[in-house]
Structure 1
Amino acid sequence: MTQPTYVIVPGLRGHVEDHWQTLLAGALSDALIVPQVEGDPVDLEARLDVLEKTVASATGPVILVAHSAGCPTVAFWAERTELPVAGALLATPPDLTQPMAAPHPSPEQFAEGGWGPVPTNPLPWPSIVVASEDDPLATVEAVTALADAWGSRVVNAGAVGHLNPASGYGPWPRAVEFLAELRELAGLNAAG
């Protein structure tokens, strides 16, 4: 059995103590959290550099666990990296072309930070994209279209908001199920 390294790719707010990603990282035997970028959190180039360094430091096959803006970060990074990845869980990616409520950046701010357009090429590894029926940052249709373009299996998780503490998540047990599926798809039959 090969033990994967889980690389947690947060959204723009970075590491949040009561977020399901943080709780998951604490429960997994081998997890790395991508650190928050210094300066402008919308600086995509800085986010890609930090992700590259974090994945390069992993000791086992990498499974990415991204949330929110971490999802398009992974898609941009997939187009430039040569580092191996075994799979990716991409939860509630935002629609960066649509206005979002404050304090989120505007579509123009995302574009100025290098975020547009989000890549729509298939990801080079197995991936699962989780959509929410009531996500304030993206419609199910937009997330499904992105997942289809990325070649990902899409899961409609129901009315889970943006899968963040403001939506009541804290713990999100389904993440463990999705990681088990990704381990199976990648031929990594190790317990987390």
Structure 2
Amino acid sequence: MNEPPVLVLPGYMNSGAGHWQTRWEAMHAGFARVSMPDWMHPDCNAWCRTLEAALNADAAGEGGVLLAAHSLGCLTIAHWAAHHASAATLAKVAGALLVAVPDPDGPEFPRDASGFDPVPLEPVPVLPFASIVVASGDDPYGGLAFAERCARAWGSRWIEIGERGHINAESGLGDWPQGFEWLMSMHKG
């Protein structure tokens, strides 16, 4: 299969060596991490501007660009699409895999993060491209009800994968082939 370009959007503190995002980047030449300006003190507007710049710089393939987001990367995509995206960059995106959406009102949400609340939930759908929200039943950063509400508002397919924590390196997913399959299912090429 001809793989599309993929922009990887980690969350708070970036994704380390054992994280499925990092593993995918190592395995696939067309995957590129969006380097945010400050991983330890995320600012929603700055992260959205960084995503817009990355998409402007990316030469989208025939089937468009895919976005692989984890945690705050998911909220960044929603805010970017609702408030910061140009028509040209929106048109480049074929789909987004949105994994472990954190709740800004939750007790574990990083207090060093700013501007991610309120989460864009209108107009429905917030995301004008294919998307899949993947959630865990025991994610300390966001409950199932919150993630499902986001999926409905964003027009996303909803997938609940049981109890896998924050769906990160500690979740024991390794290369996470199922997640990769879901991401590639949105490729139009």
TM-score of the two chains, using structure 2 as the length reference: 0.87
8 Å CA contact retained: 1:10, 1:67: yes
Give 1:114's aligned amino acid: G
Q: Distance in 1 between matches of 2:180 and 2:115?
A: 32
Q: In the alignment, what sits opposite 2:69?
A: 66
Give 1:171's aligned amino acid: D
State the secondary structure of the residue aligned to 2:119. Answer: coil
Q: Distance in 1 between matches of 2:7 and 2:128?
A: 17
8 Å CA contact retained: 2:13, 2:39: no
8 Å CA contact retained: 2:18, 2:169: yes
1:105 to 92, 99, 110: 110
Give 1:27's aligned amino acid: M
8 Å CA contact retained: 2:12, 2:39: no
**Structure 1 residue 86, shift from structure 2 partner:** 0.7
8 Å CA contact retained: 1:32, 1:54: no
Gaps of 5+ in 2: none
Q: 1:33-48 counterparts in 2 under 5 A? A: 33-38=33-38, 41-48=41-48
Q: 1:33-182 counterparts in 2 under 5 A? A: 33-38=33-38, 41-60=41-60, 61-79=64-82, 80-82=84-86, 83=89, 84=91, 85-100=93-108, 105-106=110-111, 110=113, 113-121=114-122, 122=125, 123-182=127-186
State the secondary structure of the residue aligned to 1:179. Answer: helix
The count of aligned residue pairs is 178
Gaps of 5+ in 1: none
Q: Distance in 2 between matches of 1:135 and 1:115?
A: 18
TM-score of the two chains, using structure 1 as the length reference: 0.85
Give 1:20's aligned amino acid: W
Deviations 1:8-49 (A, max 9, x none): 000011142221001112222311101132375321122112
Q: Distance in 2 between matches of 1:40 and 1:23?
A: 22
Quickly say closer, same or farther: Cα 1:172–1:3, change in 2 above 3 A. closer
What RMSD over aligned residues (CA atoms) do the two structures have, in Å?
1.8
Q: Which moved more, 1:89-98 or 1:55-64?
A: 55-64
The reply to whether residue 6 of structure 1 matches residue 6 of structure 2 is yes
